A = this chain, B = another copy of it.
Amino acid sequence: MKWLNNLCSFYICVKYTHLKLSQNINLAVDGIIFGYQDHSLYVLLIKQKYGSQKGKWALPGGFVLDDERLIDAVKREVKEETGVEVQYLEQLYTFGDDIDRDPRFRVVSVAYFGTVNPKRMVLKPTTDALDAQWYSIDEIPKLAFDHAMIIKVALDRLRSKLNYQPVGFNLLDNRFPFSDLEQLYMTILDRDIDRRNFRKKILSLGFVEETDEYHKSGSGRPGKLFKFNSKKYKELEQEGINLDIKFA
């Protein structure tokens, strides 16, 4: 490995001669796609069709094409394998330290997590005959590779996002009763919320707005429908909503 010691000279050598660096690492992406419906949070999984992990469920994902941006690779793979078109994706973490699995075929995978709203949760049949399904996060089956751990990391990230960013735009329908937002937060955080305080806090932040429409519920008093104010939402996404340490 002596010849690799000096990154720069080696890099240039490769760059200028167009040699392939003899590195045996392959780059993949995985998508952790969350959906929310009926008080439950779901993750999108596919069934492995071949190989040692055959029959096991796994996250959708695959290898990155040479001329493809990472995020586009995720979108493509998720679409191909499940039919779901994801709007919002954000980079989660790069997993690549499982060097013992098969040293001759190491895979480093950049995980992205994303959210889709209920309308986009429809699974379309794809040319790839893989089985694809939404699983409630409480009922995830045994997964291939280290995907169970990856989902845990994604969930932690989603939970902590609630504390410093508005969340929901990509998980709820266009118009929604306020209780849906409550339920969403309670589901993700897995604890109870005081309805009055929650409503006060969210409305005071201004990224959710009343509309004139009403929700026809099965029973009980119909509630107003709300919508996200996407301008304000994006503002708060950048600024953060928990600016609590205001030293100075």
Which A positions have Cβ atoms within 8 angstroms of B? 1, 4-12, 14-16, 18, 20-21, 23-28, 48-52, 61-71, 77, 80-81, 91, 93-94, 96-97, 99, 102-106, 108, 110, 127-128, 130, 160, 162-163, 185, 189, 191-194, 197-198, 201, 240, 242, 244-245, 247-248
Contact = CB atoms under 8 A, between A and B. Distances in A.
A65 B68 CA distance: 24
A212 B29 CA distance: 53
A48 B8 contact: yes
B51 A70 contact: no
Given A14-B105, A50-B12, A5 B127 contact: yes
Given A16-B51, A97-B70, A128-B6, A64 B198 contact: no
B128 A66 contact: no
A70 B50 contact: no
A69 B99 contact: yes
